[in-house]
Structure 1
């Protein structure tokens, strides 16, 4: 076993560089939810059909999810700074093209490109954090990343509502895309100056193209019926799920074969020997299946069922977004001390908050619902901040730096798949009850109950992991295989924050 040489002293500009990464991450994640409230404007201003509107929303999520793992691996091999800047530039240009689109068809094309670019940017952020920070600083940096992930998703409806209210419904949808331009240009200029030029770790490794094709086709077959669940009315779409399982099983076998032959795999399967990574990824997938669903469902109910405007609908989630920021900031500090206990507490808070919203729908129906649900959403937001931020830290902190991009891609692919699956499941519950009974209040409550059930499943996983740690603590170090050209030696991965109990010092992740 060999030990990775110590890295040079940390770059003094690392926190400013993190700010660049977070700005790019914010606008790319904001675009997963900001468009939802702009759909009526899109229909009125561009004449977009229901099918086009669906692809504007789901196509972004689809290409975002497809690009994550290959882009993360490219960043590992060729340098994360370069991959980040290319992705950010492409995202900014695609945002401009979306805003200038002259027809629904062109908007869909540009939206697919925009999603691909977002998928290029996202895994580089987690990889750069692994490179720029160590120990407790890394936990704080992941904490801030968790804040951005939670707040950007929750703030999308509010930002979209404000823009449409200011500009008007005819052209408001265009500004949902134009708002990315000043942030994207400023972040790109700052990135050229501030992002560190770390040497690429895999210059001599071959890119696993066949692995990309297997994974991409598997993820596509898995996500297509989920993101198109409402538009593809027939049951034939579900035949893609067993196809997805076969393709993903083939990907797993191929990656294992790559490792046995001494070639660099797209995803190092040794990562899944890290319990912190495997359980954290499962918790993240499950939580996002319930978490992102709420904003889709709530905005739909308030605008179509209660008669709220896009702005009023966005304002109702402000307590959740603000509380999520506070919770994530606290979680970034407390995760070092409490570890997985903090995730358990956060998931419990989210479930409690959503149950409170269900009670508000029952007791205060109508236009006063926004005020009645403010306190439950505040509780849920704090819980979300205590979930996303610490879980991201615990999941990635023990991953070797030379695999950080691909690992971040795997984690965020799970989040995208979870989001699509959650919206498909909860949306089906909501629309089925609405079609059969026509009662929006009851449909909303049943949808929220479904979301709570999914979040409780994430809570069960977190509790099981916590109990397992108490009975059988994870070893002090794990070995994750290294790529070719590194003598096949293993790399020792130091313990992450609070892996073995409260108060344990955070060690470097490599």
Structure 2
């Protein structure tokens, strides 16, 4: 890191003497942040195995099951960037505590939900609480740590991200198995109450204030931009999620409304700078090839892979009458494969660039194809075990996509704009998740009454694979363009590894 590298010089030595001493409670504060981050990320994956129980207990229509997942992802994604700015302006400790309180209370409301409508509303509020927490964690790590310690802290946070995704389905299955199939799903949410209370009390004591905190202007949060983006995405999702509940073709006019709203949003964001408003999306970032390509690829990929868990748990539990624990075990290999491959993928991206992402996407497509084959090859509940191997392959591929694509997407972004750029990328991921669940769910539930569970599952997986295939085509096209440009630059000589980066810029480690 720059701090350690410059400490050998005299001027840097005097500078280090003037620097404030590190917070003696910084590692305890980090532990609090990691527990809070674990809770918010766990609620993305743990709820999937609870959906069949929720469906039976609350007599939920298919659309409400989709909103239980999409509502959380959409609320989480839309508020990420404004929440980061709010923490910088008002104080990260204050916003962290507010988000933790909202998330914990909303979790209790989810667990106590008497109807599916109540549950959907509580999940949206829970997503808002999670969005208030998430950006403060990265900012607090930067505030509390420097040098090699900062790298260690971010590494620990990355590990927690992987673990929360991996253990979610299994933990959800264990909780439902222990508490009973009927009302056991409620403990998937109630488990956040003791964790949230302990975390809140420790956060009040251990987290530092933000030195530069003060007042925040509403225009710094771009409320008009947030509303336009939210309304546009909502109008796009509604006809898909409500496809079975709203008869007639009139509902598809909302797609045209969504296009108009998103167009107005883009125009508003482009003109925000001139009005003194800080936009929720910095449109200048999309002039960078690696950035807009990475965001689009991320949106398509998250639309594909997050929807896999949604339909898999429904098929295994409601269609094949597997237990929640069996369903959780069946889809855990995907998360384990992704967690295992994320580290090596992050190290290899500097050498292989975009082709590494293309290889990962290819593995996911093959893994999904193998899952469809397993469903037809193995009858009955035994398919839960037959799905494990292809899902493991898809998970390893996923680990070679997400972290490397993050590195490549941010490779051209200046350091001063890194926070905003990363927040925008996360927003694309969450919006992609919501779109994917809506699209795949609409196909799945449309096929279910006439063709049965297996055919519906096949159709849903095909749509999921189509999203991933779209991301793969995008990555391969970029690699092809890079190869052609490299040949034009270097003549007709065979391209070396650096010519296959696929980003039209320097490798990430040289930025």
Aligned twin of 1:176: 188
Aligned twin of 2:310: 296
Listed one character per residue, the Cα deviations across residues 141-164 of structure 1 (whole Å, up to 9, x for unaligned) are: 777666655654564332222111
- Paired with 1:131 and 1:343, the residues of 2 have a C-alpha distance of 32
Give SS of 2:381's match.
coil
Listed one character per residue, the Cα deviations across residues 362-407 of structure 1 (whole Å, up to 9, x for unaligned) are: 2223222122222211111111112112222333465456655543
Q: How does 1:169-248 map to 2 (within 5 A)?
A: 169-189=181-201, 191-192=203-204, 197=209, 199-200=211-212, 206-207=219-220, 208-248=222-262
Listed one character per residue, the Cα deviations across residues 14-68 of structure 1 (whole Å, up to 9, x for unaligned) are: 7776654443333223323433332343355556566655544443334333323
The 1:286–1:315 alpha-carbon spacing in structure 2 relative to 1, beyond 3 Å, is: same
Give SS of 1:367's match.
helix
Give the TM-score normalised by structure 1: 0.80
- Paired with 2:345 and 2:89, the residues of 1 have a C-alpha distance of 32
Give SS of 1:265's match.
coil
The 1:347–1:133 alpha-carbon spacing in structure 2 relative to 1, beyond 3 Å, is: farther
Which shifted more, 171-180 or 195-204? 195-204
Aligned twin of 1:505: 509
- Paired with 1:157 and 1:384, the residues of 2 have a C-alpha distance of 17
1:78–1:201 Cα contact (<8 Å) kept: yes
> Could you list the runs of 5+ residues in structure 2 that have no partner in the other structure?
1-14, 487-500
**How far is the alpha carbon of 1:183 from its aligned partner?**
3.4
**How far is the alpha carbon of 1:455 from its aligned partner?**
0.8
- Paired with 1:141 and 1:391, the residues of 2 have a C-alpha distance of 21
The 1:52–1:358 alpha-carbon spacing in structure 2 relative to 1, beyond 3 Å, is: closer
Pick aligned residue for 1:66 from 78, 83, 86: 78
In the alignment, does 2:472 pair up with 1:454? no
**How far is the alpha carbon of 1:87 from its aligned partner?**
1.4
Structure with the largest fraction of helix: 2
Give the TM-score normalised by structure 2: 0.79
In the alignment, does 2:35 pair up with 1:23? yes
- Paired with 2:214 and 2:417, the residues of 1 have a C-alpha distance of 10
Between 1 and 2, higher relative CO (CA 8 Å, sep ≥ 6) is seen in: 1
Equivalenced residue count is 478
Q: How does 1:5-404 map to 2 (within 5 A)?
A: 20-42=32-54, 45=57, 53-101=65-113, 106-125=118-137, 152-153=164-165, 155-189=167-201, 191-192=203-204, 197=209, 199-200=211-212, 206-207=219-220, 208-396=222-410, 399-400=413-414, 403-404=417-418
**How far is the alpha carbon of 1:176 from its aligned partner?**
0.7
Give SS of 2:308's match.
helix
Listed one character per residue, the Cα deviations across residues 156-204 of structure 1 (whole Å, up to 9, x for unaligned) are: 3322221111011233122110122343344445545665655559967
The 1:213–1:108 alpha-carbon spacing in structure 2 relative to 1, beyond 3 Å, is: closer
- Paired with 2:198 and 2:307, the residues of 1 have a C-alpha distance of 31
1:95–1:114 Cα contact (<8 Å) kept: yes
**How far is the alpha carbon of 1:114 from its aligned partner?**
1.0
- Paired with 1:19 and 1:85, the residues of 2 have a C-alpha distance of 15
Which shifted more, 100-109 or 88-97? 100-109
Which shifted more, 416-425 or 169-178? 416-425
Question: What RMSD over aligned residues (CA atoms) do the two structures have, in Å?
Answer: 3.8
- Paired with 1:201 and 1:394, the residues of 2 have a C-alpha distance of 32
Name which one, 1 or 2, has greater alpha-carbon Rg.
2
The 1:78–1:218 alpha-carbon spacing in structure 2 relative to 1, beyond 3 Å, is: farther
1:90–1:114 Cα contact (<8 Å) kept: yes
**How far is the alpha carbon of 1:295 from its aligned partner?**
1.0
**How far is the alpha carbon of 1:469 from its aligned partner?**
4.8
The 1:140–1:263 alpha-carbon spacing in structure 2 relative to 1, beyond 3 Å, is: same
1:76–1:404 Cα contact (<8 Å) kept: no
Which shifted more, 151-160 or 321-330? 151-160
Give SS of 2:44's match.
coil
1:10–1:133 Cα contact (<8 Å) kept: no
- Paired with 1:222 and 1:97, the residues of 2 have a C-alpha distance of 28
